[in-house]
Amino acid sequence: MSTIKSSDEHLTLNADGSSKDIKFQANGVEKASISSAGAFTSTTIDATKLTGTIPNFTSTGIDDNATSTAITIASDEKVGIGVTNPTQLLQIKQTGRYTDIGLETTNHKYVVGVDNDTSEWYVYDNDNAAFRMKITSDGRGLSEFTAKAWVNFRGSSTVAINDSHNVSSISDNGTGNYTLNLSNNLGNDHGVMSGYSIMDGLVYGDSSNVSSAGSFRMRTVVGYSNSMMDADEVHCIVFGD
């Protein structure tokens, strides 16, 4: 038998039937119920009326079990992780040196992030514990497949750089002889340089001076006679670690 009791402090609804469920109806239509195990179900819940933390609440993908705000979804649909007022569509902030996200396939794991100490962006190969690419704060790309430096310079009259990347200066060592000096050195002395000059010229290494991690010495010669010349324009590119 089901009963309803009231006191100064409580209203008690007691269901003693076979199902022992307490049902709430409107015009004969069930709107909500409380099972004998205490589970509450409802056709609709007005979330604007809910306050505080709902104990043991779970949903697909997001659980209300954090001790502090973990994810913020703003009214303009911007999402912040570690950020309470996101200004981008997705904004992530972590404490410590690295802020990164993981990308994983069936066979590989990669991490893309930023080094907060050096302001470098990176792609990290988790499987082989190796950085595959970095982008430095001054815009240089560091990898096995990106040029470490390049330069377009005037080799005749007063030597001058027309345009360059990671080249600090060009030294004039005499007729048709130059040294390319890097702003940021390579990781070792085993880098390679390739170049050419206009005016039917060729660019060779200089056997009298071995290149180092920070400089490359070269000669420009006339293609048909192999004689040294000051080229009007020389183009060089450098690869290495």
Per-residue model confidence (pLDDT) at position 62: 58
pLDDT, greater one: 226 or 165: 165
Distance between CA atoms of residues 56 and 158, nearest Å: 77
Residue 104 reports pLDDT greater than 70: yes
Reported as a single tens digit per residue, the pLDDT across 208-233 is: 666 789 999 988 888 777 788 898 99
Closest CA relative to residue 123, chosen from 106, 109, 137 = 109
Question: Using 50, 70 and 90 to split pLDDT, how confident is the model at 82?
Answer: confident
Distance between CA atoms of residues 36 and 63, nearest Å: 25
Question: Region 97-117: what's the mean pLDDT?
Answer: 89
> What DSSP character marks residue 48?
G
Question: At 88, phi and psi to the nearest 5?
Answer: -115, 165
Residue 165 reports pLDDT greater than 70: yes
Residue 1 reports pLDDT greater than 60: no
pLDDT, greater one: 171 or 32: 171
Residue tagged 């056709």 (tokens)? 43
